[in-house]
């Protein structure tokens, strides 16, 4: 005769969801909110909606500070291009602005990819202001 099969081991409950490295209550739509954090003015949505998720709040604050820094940079470059257009260097500044635009878009993409992956991308001179508020 054959022996009866042993009963299966009792199933253990699933582990609780981790709240990430930032603490606070993890949001169900954390990835979407982190992506919105780095899409310029849309960074205000996660900043105002996800008040309990500290990681989303950090990314939203970082995105707002990055947006303000970009606005200041564009104002300075616009004034410079108007001032230098008389001298004839305005074309070189226009090329510099196009390259700078590409660099800014790449920085936003890096921030989104790292943020969704649970990491933070620190930008020297900009990221320290996000921690202040």
How far is the CA of 86 from the CAs of 15, 55, 82, 83, 95, in angstroms?
66, 47, 7, 6, 17
pLDDT mean values, one per 10 residues, the chain (133 residues): 61 44 62 85 85 84 90 88 73 84 92 88 81 76
Predicted local confidence at residue 8, as pLDDT = 58
Nearest-angstrom CA–CA distance, 69 and 76: 11
pTM of the model: 0.69
Predicted local confidence at residue 105, as pLDDT = 92
Q: Where are the domains of the chain?
A: 30-130
């Amino acid at each position: 005769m054959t022996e009866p099969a042993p009963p299966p081991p009792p199933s253990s409950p699933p582990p609780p969801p981790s709240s990430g490295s930032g603490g606070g209550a993890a949001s169900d739509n954390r990835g979407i909110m982190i992506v919105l954090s780095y899409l310029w003015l849309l960074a205000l949505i996660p900043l105002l909606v996800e008040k309990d998720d500290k990681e989303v709040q950090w990314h939203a604050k970082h995105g707002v500070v990055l947006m303000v820094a970009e606005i200041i940079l564009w104002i300075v470059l616009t004034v410079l291009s108007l001032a230098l257009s008389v001298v004839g260097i305005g074309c070189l500044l226009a090329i510099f602005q196009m390259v700078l635009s590409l660099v800014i878009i790449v920085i936003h993409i890096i921030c989104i990819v790292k943020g969704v992956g649970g990491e933070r991308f620190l930008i020297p001179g900009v990221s320290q202001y996000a921690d202040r508020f």
